[in-house]
Amino acid sequence: MEKVRVRFAPSPTGPLHLGGVRTALYDYLFAKHNGGDFILRIEDTDTQRYVPGSEEYIMEALEWIGMVPDESPKHGGPYAPYRQSERRDIYDRYTEQILKTDYAYLAFDTPEELDQIRAEFEARGDVFAYNYETRNRLRNSISLPEEEVKKLLEEKTPYVIRFKMPLDRIINLNDIIRGKFSVNTNTLDDKVLVKNDGMPTYHFANIIDDHEMKITHVIRGEEWLPSMALHVLLYEAMGWDAPEFAHLSLILKPEGKGKLSKRDGDKFGFPVFPLNFTDPATGNTSAGYREEGYLPEAFINMVAMLGWSPADNKEIVSMDEMIKEFDLNKVHKAGARFSAEKAKWFNQQYLQLMSNEAILPEFKKVLAENNVEVSDEKALKIIGLMKERATFVKDIYNDGKFFFHAPESFDEKASKKAWSPETAVLMQELTEAISSLDFKAEIIKESIHHLAEAKGLGMGKVMMPLRLSLVGELKGPDVPDLMEMIGKEETISRINKAIETLK
Ligand code: GLU
C-alpha cells in the first residue's frame, strides 16, 4: 500500500481559528495513525488576502500543540517548496498541459464587462454564472473565431484560464465522513483556474500540489465540499488519480446554531485562537488559549472531542492515545457545539494530573509577574494546597493571595457570620496559646482543639473567625496548613489586625 500522506493547507490570511486547529489535528491524527506523513503547505496564491505574520503564527501554534510537520516551509522536504507562491514554474508546466485538453479555455472578458452582465442578470431577477449556458455569448476562446483569439493574444490582451465544465454529466462522489452523493455538472460554473497574472487560483494550485506531493487523503473543512466535484474533474482532466476526501463539519456557536465566530468569543469571553494574535493592520490583539493559561495537552484534547470520540467514550485522551484510536469513519457528520465551560473543565482535569513539581516552573512565572518571591519548597506546598480547586495555574496565585499578603479588608457578610462581640477575646487567647508553639500544622491544630474544648466551644466557632482574620473571607485551604505556611509572626499580626478592625 502506498504511504499515507496528509496535508494541512492553510491560507496565510490571519490566525488559525479553532476550526483550522481541528482540521490540522485530524489531518495529523489520521496521518500518524496510519504511519504516514503530515505536511504543512502554505496556500498563498491570493495576495490580496495575505496577512503578514500568519505563516509564523500557524507554525508556532502547531509546535505549541506538539504537531510538528514532517514537511513544511520551515522543515523542507522532498517536495519543496511548500509555499505556493514559490511554485510558479511547476504551475506553468501544468497550465500548458491543461490548455492542450478540452477542459480549459481562455477568457478575455474584463472585470467591468462581467460586472455589467451580472447587473443585467440581476435586473431581470436572475443570477449570472459563467457556465455552459452563457459561455458562448461571452468573450473567450470557445465563442470567438480563432483569428480573433490570435489577434487578442498578439495584442497582449489580458486573459484568465477557465475550466470548461463538461455538459450534463452526473459526477459520483464519495466522502469518507458523509458517504456517497452525486452532482450534475450543469449546476457548476466554469471556475477560473489561472488568473490574468499567470498565477493559478486555489482550485488549480491545490490539485496540482496534492498530486505532486503524493497526497493520499484530503481532510478539510466542509466549506470545501461544494468544490469537491470540480476537484475530481480537474484530476480527470489532468489524467491523474484523485485522493480520497473527508470534509469536517463546522464547529458551532455555544448556543448551537451557526458557525462559531470570533465575535462569539468576544461576546462570551473565550478565545477562538490557539495563541494571541495582533492584527498588523489594526494593532488589535485577539486572545489565545496559550496566553489564557491553557495547557497544550488540555487544549488539543478539547479540540479533538469537537466531532470525534474514542470507542469507549473516554474524555481524557492523550495525543498518543488519540493517534492510536483515531478513525475518520467515527468523525461526526453533524456540527459540534463549542462549550467554553467544557474547555475549562479539560484544563482543570489536566492540571490535577500534573505533579506539583511539574506545575512549579509555570507557577513561579506567575509569582514573578506579581513580584512575589517564595522558596521552591513553599511554592510546592502552596500548589499542593490549592491545586484541587484550580482550573489554571494562575488560579493558584489568584485564589491563594492570602499566602503572600495580609487581607486588606474583611468581607462584610463573612464578618457578620463569623465575628461576634466575644470573638475578640477568644482570638486574643488564641494568639497567646499559639505564641510558644513549634509552628507545625499538626501541633497548631491540636492547640486550637484544646482551646475550643477548654472554652466549651465547637471547632467551627474558633476556626471561622480565625479564617476570617487570616484570609479576609471564609474560604481557602485548611487553616492550620495556612498558618504553618505564613508563619507564626504573620499569623499573630493578622489576628491582631482583625481584632482591631472588627472589635
Ligand atoms: N487553502 C484552503 C484553506 O485555507 C485549503 C483547503 C483545502 O484543504 O483544500 O481553507
Side chain identity at 39, as an amino acid letter? I
User: How far is 183 from 95, CA to CA, in rounded Å?
Assistant: 26
Assign 107 to helix, strand or coil. strand
Whose CA is closest to 55, among 23, 6, 14? 14
Q: How far is the CA of 398 from the centre of ligand 1 (A)?
A: 41
The cell for 361 is: 516552573
- Ligand 1 atom closest to 10 (CA): 4
CA-closest residue to ligand 1 atom 3: 10
Best mutation site among 38, 46, 220, 230 for ligand 1 pocket (most ligand atoms within 8 Å of CB): 220
Which residues participate in the annotated binding site?
176, 262
Give strand pairing partners of 104.
163
3-state SS string for 180-204: EEEEEHHHCCCCEEECCCCCECHHH
Which residues participate in the annotated binding site for Mg(2+)?
176
Element (H, E) at 7: strand 5-8
- Ligand 1 atom closest to 8 (CA): 8
Catalytic residues: 262
- Ligand 1 atom closest to 220 (CA): 8
Q: How far is the CA of 478 from the centre of ligand 1 (A)?
A: 54
Q: How far is the CA of 129 from the centre of ligand 1 (A)?
A: 23
User: How far is 396 from 390, CA to CA, in rounded Å?
Assistant: 6
CA gyration radius, the chain: 32
DSSP string, 232-263: HHHHHHHT----EEEEEPPEEPTTSSSB--HH
Q: Is 38 left (phi over 0), alpha (psi -120 to 50) or beta?
A: beta
Does residue 10 have its Cβ closer than 6 Å to ligand 1?
yes
Q: How far is the CA of 202 from the centre of ligand 1 (A)?
A: 8
Hey, what domains does the chain have and what are their CATH numbers? 3-72+201-246 (3.40.50.620), 87-192 (3.90.800.10), 353-401 (1.10.8), 410-500 (1.10.10.350)
Does residue 465 have its Cβ closer than 6 Å to ligand 1?
no
User: How far is 238 from 416, CA to CA, in rounded Å?
Assistant: 81
- Ligand 1 atom closest to 202 (CA): 1
CA-closest residue to ligand 1 atom 2: 10
**Nearest-5° angle of CA 160, CA 163, CA 166?**
150
pLDDT by residue for the chain (503 residues), tens digit each? Answer: 799 999 999 999 999 999 999 999 999 999 999 999 999 999 999 999 999 999 999 999 999 999 999 999 999 999 999 999 999 999 999 999 999 999 999 999 999 999 999 999 999 999 999 999 999 999 999 999 999 999 999 999 999 999 999 999 999 999 999 999 999 999 999 999 999 999 999 999 999 999 999 999 999 999 999 999 999 999 999 999 999 999 999 999 998 889 999 889 988 889 999 999 999 999 999 999 999 999 999 999 999 999 999 988 899 999 999 999 999 999 999 999 999 999 999 999 999 999 999 999 999 999 999 999 999 999 999 999 999 999 999 999 999 999 999 999 999 999 999 999 999 999 999 999 999 999 999 999 999 999 999 999 999 999 999 999 999 999 999 999 999 999 999 999 999 999 999 98
Does residue 9 have its Cβ closer than 6 Å to ligand 1?
yes
Does residue 46 have its Cβ closer than 6 Å to ligand 1?
no
